[in-house]
Amino acid sequence: MPNLPFVALRAFEAVVRLRGFGRAAEELGVTQSSVSQHVKMVEDWIGCRLLVRGPRTTVATKEGQMLANAIDAGIGQIGELCDKLRHSGRADPTITVSCAPGFAVNWLFPRLIKFDQLHPDTPVSILTDPSPVGFAAGQVDVAILYGMGDHPGLHTERLLNERVFPVCSPALLSGGPALNKVADLAHHTFLLDELADIGGNPPTWAFWAEQTRQILPQPARTRRFGQANMVVQAAIQGLGVALGREPLVTDALATGQLIRPLEGIAVSQFAYWFVCPKAAMKSDRILRFHEWLFHEAGNSQERHLKKT
């Protein structure tokens, strides 16, 4: 067998899975140019075209998808074996969970104390990483990923749906311009977060207006933040009106820190997904965390649906 370009194959698989060179570069911790060179090496080595490059999204050809699936399966098997070897000779029961900072701060962190009380012998460590996770390195046991749930070769379950609607602090309305109808948004500041390009139709203000059949005015001003949790905190502090994204605003609405000043709820195409290697679902500690997490998710959405 000729020498396999393992590093290049791994980069190629990441491009196919994430549908882009930039996102693959972020996951692998290398430059986009390096990823491009690796992909070219694989195409030259195979001898056929494997990718169709577009201005926003890169997709695999039939041959490219077949190769990516085979790479993913091989890396997954290696990762599962490494995980077994890592845990076979030690007593460390820690579960390492990767998720985006906004989800960690606004939903997961406030609930983890319950899991710790129920299972004190199974500590949970959180890795806040906004990009998709490669499990092959063995550093992560479970990921909670935001998007459309496209994670071939992995165990993937929808954890929480996402709905979007305007939210603000009660204090913003008590001391500022009225906000009784959508047209009143012209007198307020929009708080925006920078949504990564993960395909689909992102939950933006324009998306909310279209889905709820509203005519969106030009706001008085806009403020942009790099993370969703910063947008939520800015809204709580009365700095403007945010497009609230479930489940990130669920707790703030329940406590009265945020309110919904306007009618109209749009159902997002995106959701939060529980993702892990398939073999991980045979682990007792992962199953304990999985059962608790889905129980909390059910309680969270049921409580908020009753309030709205």
Cα–Cα distances in Å, from 150 out to 143, 155, 247?
A: 13, 11, 20
Copy the structure tokens of residue 66: 């077949």
| Region 98-109 average pLDDT | 91
pLDDT in tens, 62-75: 888 888 888 777 76
The CA distance from 188 to 29, in Å, is 39
Phi, psi (degrees; rounded to nearest 5) at 224: -110, 145
d(CA 95, CA 115): 12
What is the structure's pLDDT at 208?
95
Confidence grade of residue 29 (pLDDT, cut at 50, 70, 90)? low
Closest by alpha carbon to 280, among 146, 81, 103, 133? 81
**Which one-letter DSSP state was computed for residue 41?**
H
- The whole-angstrom separation of Cα 287 and Cα 268 is 28
Element (H, E) at 166: strand 155-167
Mean pLDDT of the chain: 84
**pLDDT at residue number 140:** 85
Number of H helices, E strands in the chain: 11, 10
DSSP 77: H
* Structural domains for the chain: 6-86 (1.10.10.10), 89-159+271-307 (3.40.190.10), 161-269 (3.40.190.10)
Question: Residue 83 — very low, low, confident or very high, per pLDDT cuts 50/70/90?
Answer: low
Spell out the residues 6+ positions from residue 33 whose beta carbon is closer than 8 angstroms to its own. none
Cβ(146)–Cβ(103) below 8 Å: yes
> In this structure, are residues 7 and 41 in contact, taking their beta carbons and an 8 Å threshold?
no
Q: What is the pLDDT of residues 134-181, one digit of tens each?
A: 676 667 889 998 888 888 778 999 999 999 999 999 999 887 889 999
pLDDT in tens, 226-262: 888 899 999 999 999 999 999 999 999 999 999 999 9
Report the DSSP pairing between strands 95-99 and 155-167: unpaired
